[in-house]
Structure 1
Amino acid sequence: MPRILTVAAAQVGPVHLTSSKEETVERLLALFNTAASQGAQLIVYPELTLTTFFPRHLFQNGDELDKWFEKGDISESPLLKPLFEAAAEKKVDFYFGYAELTVDSKHYNSSFYYSAELGKIISRYRKVHLPGTFEPFAKADAVNQLEKRYFLPGDIPFDAFRAPGLIKGALKKGQEATGSTIGKGDPILGQLICNDRRWPEPWRVYGLQGMELMLIGYNTTSHSPELWGSKKPMTLDEEYKEVMFHHKLVMQANSYGNSCFSVCAARAGADDGKWGMIGGSCIIDPQGHIVAETKTDDDEVVVAAIDLEDCRQGKEKIFDFDRHRRTEHYGLISEQTGVKEPELLE
């Protein structure tokens, strides 16, 4: 039976150092209304949605840094109250990335999932794979990425979750079913943030929980030669194309390898007129095909109706984990971090 769900990626264009969070929320509401008017039931926003990508700048600890973070429980934030109210009124779920400052003064790059059916946040996540460096580069015009300085690695497991109220007729606990209940319940979702999408391990952990839809927000610079380590000279246009290629590559490959749909939303464009960020917000199917994609690096929404039943082909054939996985051979994946090459030959 079809399990149709309409999803949207809400891409946000440039947000400058001088942009206020209140101004940004107004833009987010406009994107929300556009997506809802096109029938979206679930909207994905970017990583660090409320601010410019501040980890490219050096800030001292204390108030200078903390102003970029949302303090305490985000569900009680007056800043986001208009968005929560719009979601409750229109019965639209959403994923949202933000900088989190906990009550015990810990800093995380975080996201949450709000369920309109339940009227509350039902899943939270904190970015695990923090890229970049702790100290800024010595080169004056280098593009920095100081996430290791500003955030702790995430401490929340890769827990898949079900989102209620999205699929009409979804099988519930205790209801009678003919045959297997697999692939018949409320949709199974996962969340990652930006650089996490490049690592296959979290996708697989979610895949082993039957994930059908991955949600990802990202901020990805289009020019950062010090971070890439590339020896090949490139023009800015060539760099942009290369970064975009890798972004789509990991989204398409991991969606295919785990037989799931994915929705990813970018913070895009040239912040402060010079800090280039790629767009490429898109919706991808379980065969790795892009079914909808943004055309600009500005505020833009893409919407698509997807059928979660399409996940079954891969989950029951090529990537039937129960029949084909051989965990006895995968030990190094969890036992080792750095590379250990075989010994040199005589």
Structure 2
Amino acid sequence: MARKLTVAAAQVGAINRDTPKQEVVQRLIDLLQQASFKNVKLVVFPEATLTTFFPRHLFDTQEELDTFFEHGADITQSTDVKPLFDEARKLAIDIVLGYGERTPEGTGYNTSVHYSASQDKIISKYRKVHLPGTVEPFEDPNAINQLEKRYFTPGNLGFQAYRAPGLVSNAVKSASAKNGESTVGKGDPVLGMMICNDRRWPEAWRVYALQGVELVMFGYNTGANMAHLWGSQDKPMSPEQAEQEALFHSKLVQQANSYMNACFSISSARCGLDDGKYDLIAGSAIVSPEGHVLNEAKTKGDELVVAEIDLSDCRQGKERTFDFARHRRIETYGLIPQQTGIVEPDLL
């Protein structure tokens, strides 16, 4: 049974430290309107979409830092961001949006939400689990910092798959399911969210896959030349080589994990040259359950990357190649939940 859906990654180009959120939101609305002309029903925006990637900066005051977060329990009511959700409702397009979340208790999270246009509400929230970088800035004044561990707390919502209504026609509902009939692969889409560095961790994808995920969505802000974090001190790369390596790894993990977990995936980049010196890779892409790139960004700026997908294409991998119920051997995977760091065998 075909379950077709037109989706898009809404890549967002350079945003400077002093760029007003209202200006960014208008750019996002422009992308959403482009999506409407292409009959897109689901748009994925990047990680921390609304501002420059602020964890690269060390802030002098809490007041300035707080301007980069959204405050309160419901972002759809944020003065700055509400126009985006209003436009999504008007155009009948679901959106996935990443932003810095400050809870009423004062905790900071790197967060993503799925807003359902048909329901006019947030139907799922995800908080980034795998925070990269450092708490303290590097001693080298020329280093580009990544201070997510300073400004965010690791996510506490886990990798919870969910269904999104109103995206595919003729989805089987619990009330209409016939007794004894298998509803696997026939209901509303099973979705999952990640953010940036999470995409590099196979455990995250597998937890979603064990819930039958059909589409994984994530945004990212990935440095084009983060030598102090990722580079080899023994084999330094030119900025051009570093950017190509970052792009290669970004595409590698998306294609490989889409294939190994038999799901579509959408990645959306916050990219470009912020403040004329902080370079972020592009490379937004939509990938099939067989690991093929269906469409990808051609620029390093604001760009809508569109593809029609058929969620029934997930069934081959889920029911044949990787049929988890028949082939997984969980009695052999004990180290995964028991151990974090590497413990080598004893020396000979």
Superposition TM-score tier, normalisation by shorter sequence:
over 0.9
Aligned to 2:255: 252
Normalised to the residue count of structure 1, the TM-score between the two structures is 0.98
User: In structure 2, how many angstroms separate the alpha carbons of the residues matched to 1:132 and 1:158?
Assistant: 21
Task: Report the CA distance between 1:75 and its aligned residue.
Answer: 2.2
User: In structure 2, how many angstroms separate the alpha carbons of the residues matched to 1:332 and 1:13?
Assistant: 41
Alignment of 1:165-314 (within 5 A): 165-177=166-178, 179-230=181-232, 231-314=234-317
Output the amino acid matched with 2:142. Answer: D
Structure 1 runs (4+) greater than 3 angstroms displaced: 176-179
2:177 and 2:183 in contact (8 A); partners too: no
Aligned to 1:44: 44
User: In structure 1, how many angstroms separate the alpha carbons of the residues matched to 2:135 and 2:4?
Assistant: 44
Aligned to 1:28: 28
1:317 is the counterpart of 2:323: no
After the TM superposition, which of the residue ranges 70-79 and 194-203 deviates more from structure 2? Answer: 70-79
1:103-152: CA deviation from partner (whole Å, max 9, x where unpaired)? 00000100100001111000001000000011100011001100000000
Alignment of 1:96-175 (within 5 A): 96-175=97-176
Output the amino acid matched with 2:255. Answer: Q
1:68 is the counterpart of 2:71: no
2:231 and 2:237 in contact (8 A); partners too: no
Identity among equivalent pairs (%)? 57
Q: Secondary structure at the match of 1:227?
A: coil
Q: Secondary structure at the match of 1:344?
A: coil
Task: Report the CA distance between 1:51 and its aligned residue.
Answer: 0.5
Q: Secondary structure at the match of 1:225?
A: coil
Output the amino acid matched with 1:170. Answer: A
User: In structure 2, how many angstroms separate the alpha carbons of the residues matched to 1:338 and 1:60?
Assistant: 34
User: In structure 1, how many angstroms separate the alpha carbons of the residues matched to 2:243 and 2:268?
Assistant: 17
Alignment coverage as a number of residue pairs: 345
User: In structure 1, how many angstroms separate the alpha carbons of the residues matched to 2:347 and 2:60?
Assistant: 46
1:61–1:204 CA distance, 2 compared to 1 (3 A):
farther
Output the amino acid matched with 1:10. Answer: A
User: In structure 2, how many angstroms separate the alpha carbons of the residues matched to 1:105 and 1:139?
Assistant: 31
User: In structure 1, how many angstroms separate the alpha carbons of the residues matched to 2:149 and 2:36?
Assistant: 36
Normalised to the residue count of structure 2, the TM-score between the two structures is 0.98
Task: Report the CA distance between 1:229 and its aligned residue.
Answer: 3.9
User: In structure 1, how many angstroms separate the alpha carbons of the residues matched to 2:314 and 2:279?
Assistant: 35
Alignment of 1:84-103 (within 5 A): 84-103=85-104
User: In structure 2, how many angstroms separate the alpha carbons of the residues matched to 1:254 and 1:61?
Assistant: 40
2:12 and 2:271 in contact (8 A); partners too: yes
After the TM superposition, which of the residue ranges 233-242 and 159-168 deviates more from structure 2? Answer: 233-242
User: In structure 2, how many angstroms separate the alpha carbons of the residues matched to 1:136 and 1:189?
Assistant: 36
User: In structure 1, how many angstroms separate the alpha carbons of the residues matched to 2:172 and 2:194?
Assistant: 26
After the TM superposition, which of the residue ranges 322-331 and 72-81 deviates more from structure 2? Answer: 72-81
User: In structure 1, how many angstroms separate the alpha carbons of the residues matched to 2:80 and 2:177?
Assistant: 44
Aligned to 2:335: 332
Output the amino acid matched with 1:338. Answer: G
Q: Secondary structure at the match of 2:222?
A: coil
1:154-190: CA deviation from partner (whole Å, max 9, x where unpaired)? 0002110000001100000021348421000000000
Task: Report the CA distance between 1:61 and its aligned residue.
Answer: 5.1
Q: Secondary structure at the match of 1:215?
A: strand
